[in-house]
Every structure is written in C-alpha cells, then in structure tokens.
Amino acid sequence: MIPLYKEAAESIKSLIINGKWKIGERIPGDFQLMKDYNVSRDTIRKAVRLLVDDGFLIRRPGKGTFVCRKRKSDFMEQLISFTSEMIVRGYVPSARLINFEEIRAPAEIADKLDCDQKDKVYYVERIRYVNDIPVAHEKSYLLKSVVGNLEKQDIEDSMYEFLAYKLEITFTRMIQEIKPMILDTKLAKLMGIDIMPVLNLTRTIFTEKDKPFYYLSFIFRGDIYSVKNELKF
C-alpha cells in the first residue's frame, strides 16, 4: 500500500508537470492542501518535503513554497544549468527574453563552435533572475545544424531541459572560463542595477560526437553571485 503522503506528492507533481501550477508560482498553503486532499497536516508536510527534495518545489522562508521545475534534475544539468544551480542554492529562477533570432555565425562564435561564418546559429539574449532579482545577463549561440528549428517558446524556461529532454542531445563535455570585469553602463541599465564588479563566465558545450554546438556567456553581478563547485575523486 502506497503511503498517503506519497499519493499526495504524486498528485501535486502531476499538477506541476501538466502545467497547472507554473514555474515560479506559489502553491497553496498547508491548510488548503489538507482540505484538497483530505489528509492531515503531517501528511501534507511530508508530501511537500518529498517534492522539495526531488527538486520540484522550493521553500522561501516567510513567503511560502514555490514551483521551481517540472522534473528532477540529472547530474549533467547540475553541472551546467543556471536554473538547476539556482534551485540547489535555494532560489526560484526565472528569465526575461531580450532577443531571439537566427543569424549567421559571427567570426568569434564560428571559431568557438568550429563552424563556418555562413552557418546559421540561434542567438538568445536573456536577463536571468533569482527570487525576482536580476542576477545575470546571458548571451547564447546554438548551432542550427545540430539543434534544428527553434521557436521562442522552446527556450522560455530551462535551455538545458529543452535541449537534453526535448531534442535528446547528449552533452559530453564543457570548456568553461571565468574572468572578472566591470559592468558597463549600457548593460547595467538593461539589468536595472548599478555599475559594479561582475564575473564573466563562458561555456562551450559539446555533443556526444565531440562537436561544439552551444556557446554561452554569462555576466553575473559580483554582489550576489559566487562560484561554488564540489569535485569528488
């Protein structure tokens, strides 16, 4: 017999996966969920804790519990995804799309993706938020010959989730570089923050055929973001 809290957790998870409860949305409180599922408060708390542990929900002290994703993260996502990283840190991530277009590969990007300048790439520019606070500016370039046809709605949430689970692209390795810099006036205005020290993180990501297909550059504000890694040997 399946415990009641697991039944409740599965029911809540289905609401998240099916999109009835959106990413970033605050879920009903304990008493409303107790009423909806006709169970005790302890049962609801266990159900919610299970979904927090599985990465579907996140708690914000004093504000409630929020939806943060539609599925459990995998090992590779935890290494390279901004969305997954912020969830692990206890934040609710979101994004605002600034630009999305299909272009010919600029010289620098053609070099990064080992392609010709006549090859098409998708250029994506976004402001990334945690708990509704602007934290990073992102520029991404995806090689069209690998990812096929993309639409704006495909990359509204987690880019990794779309590429890995919708397109089933296998990520095999990544080259990453982090450099300090000072935020320029134009970008500070775009993000709605003061000029300050920032970290510029760049990544080139490869497919299973060792083909670079995804290059991205993050500019993280230095007063909030820090680099933290755990390596196991």
| Long-range interactions of 40-47: CB distance < 8 A, separation 24+ | 43/4, 43/5, 43/8, 44/5, 44/8, 46/5, 46/9, 47/5, 47/6, 47/8, 47/9, 47/12
In this structure, what DSSP letter does residue 121 have?
Answer: E
Is the confidence at residue 206, as pLDDT, over 60?
Answer: yes
* Each residue's pLDDT tens digit, 157-171: 778 878 887 888 888
**In 3D, which of 227, 220, 180 has the Cα closest to residue 79?**
227
| Sheet-wide strand order for 197-207 | 93-104, 120-130, 133-143, 212-221, 197-207, 171-182
* Residue 128 CB contacts under 8 Å (≥ 6 apart), including other chains: 82, 93, 94, 95, 134, 135, 136, 137, 138, 218
pLDDT bracket for residue 230 (50, 70, 90): low
* Each residue's pLDDT tens digit, 41-80: 999 999 999 898 887 888 887 888 988 777 666 666 666 6
* Residue 53 CB contacts under 8 Å (≥ 6 apart), including other chains: none
Q: Are 127 and 98 in contact (CB under 8 A)?
A: yes
